[in-house]
């Protein structure tokens, strides 16, 4: 499942299987990349916050054209 919110533009990705998660991540990354291109600034920040929960956001903390990954799941 992909859920988006704004502002800021972010996509919450969850899934029940690794295949579902990978497909949803690819779709959300493409949508976030399109958003970053439209804005002309900010890169993508992919954050893992659980075993099957990720957030992808356009972030001014990440240089334009780059993707940064972080893991906040403990």
Q: Tell me whether residue 28 is exposed, middle or buried, using C-beta atoms within 10 angstroms of its C-beta: 0 to 12, 13 to 18, 19 or more.
A: buried
Q: Where are the domains of the chain?
A: 2-71
CB crowding 42-59: b at 16 or more within 10 Å, else e: bbbbbbeeeebebbbbbb
pTM of the model: 0.84
What are the tens digits of pLDDT across the range 21-57? 999 999 999 999 999 999 888 899 999 999 999 999 9
- Please report how many Cα atoms fall inside a 13 Å half-sphere around the Cα of residue 42, on the Cβ side: 20
């Amino acid at each position: 499942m992909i859920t988006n919110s704004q502002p800021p533009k972010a996509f919450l990705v969850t899934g029940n299987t690794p295949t579902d998660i990978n497909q949803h991540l690819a779709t959300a990354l493409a949508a976030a990349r399109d958003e970053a291109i439209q804005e002309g600034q900010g890169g993508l920040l992919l954050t893992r916050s659980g075993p099957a929960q990720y957030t992808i956001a356009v972030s001014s903390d990440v240089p334009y054209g780059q993707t940064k990954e972080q893991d906040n799941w403990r």
